[in-house]
């Protein structure tokens, strides 16, 4: 699905719509966030984490690589691979152990192999003063989720 997000508020609202379609238990789900610098990846991640019940700041995981949020609904891992240069480093950050929650991944192109094990990919691109968003399913359940999304 493709849609135009006119401003930051639209990105936040879209994140809420996506979360609504995800199951209560987010274990094992992976959502890739693609797009160039400043495209709105962190805005989307922050909105989704807040909508899932986290109150307070959502710092960038650029240096920590992973920021975990242990929420009543389910754990969410906010992951930023910007500084990762090869797939081996995924093991270093403990990727395989992060399967008890939702993995939200910024800069997934740093580890191209992730596409094969992810459920969803959101691509954000500059479009005038807003952003063009494309959400696609990478797994069967991801594809089903995209079909079920209801926009406000």
Ligand X SMILES: Nc1ncnc2c1ncn2[C@@H]1O[C@H](COP(=O)(O)OP(=O)(O)OP(=O)(O)O)[C@@H](O)[C@H]1O
Which of 73, 103, 110, 131 lies at the binding interface for ligand X (CB under 6 A)? Answer: 131
Interface mask toward ligand X for 51-90; x: CB under 6 A:
----------------------------------------
Q: Is 131 in the site for Mg ion (CB under 5 A)?
A: no
Q: How many Cβ atoms from other residues are within 10 Å of residue 5's Cβ?
A: 20
Q: Kindly report each contact of residues 83-91 with a partner whose C-beta sits within 8 Å and lies 24 or more positions away, as own/partner.
A: 84/110, 84/111, 85/110, 86/111, 87/111, 87/112, 87/113, 90/114
- Report what 38 binds from ligand X, Mg ion, none; CB cut-off 5-8 Å by kind: ligand X
Q: Is 134 in the site for ligand X (CB under 6 A)?
A: no
Q: Is 31 in the site for ligand X (CB under 6 A)?
A: no
The whole-angstrom separation of Cα 144 and Cα 124 is 21
């Amino acid at each position: 699905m493709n849609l135009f997000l006119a401003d930051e508020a639209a990105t936040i609202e879209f994140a809420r719509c996506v979360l609504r379609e995800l199951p209560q238990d987010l274990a094992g789900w992976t959502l890739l966030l693609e797009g160039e610098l400043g495209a709105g990846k962190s805005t989307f991640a922050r909105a989704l984490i807040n909508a899932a019940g986290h109150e307070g700041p959502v710092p960038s995981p650029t240096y920590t690589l992973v920021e975990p949020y242990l929420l009543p609904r389910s754990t969410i891992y906010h992951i930023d691979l910007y500084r990762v240069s090869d797939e081996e480093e995924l093991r270093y950050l403990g990727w395989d152990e992060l399967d008890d929650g939702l993995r939200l991944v910024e800069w997934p192109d740093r580890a191209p192999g992730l596409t094969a094990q992810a459920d969803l990919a959101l691509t954000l691109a500059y479009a005038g003063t807003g952003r063009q968003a494309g959400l696609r399913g990478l797994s069967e359940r991801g594809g089903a989720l995209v079909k079920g999304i209801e926009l406000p």
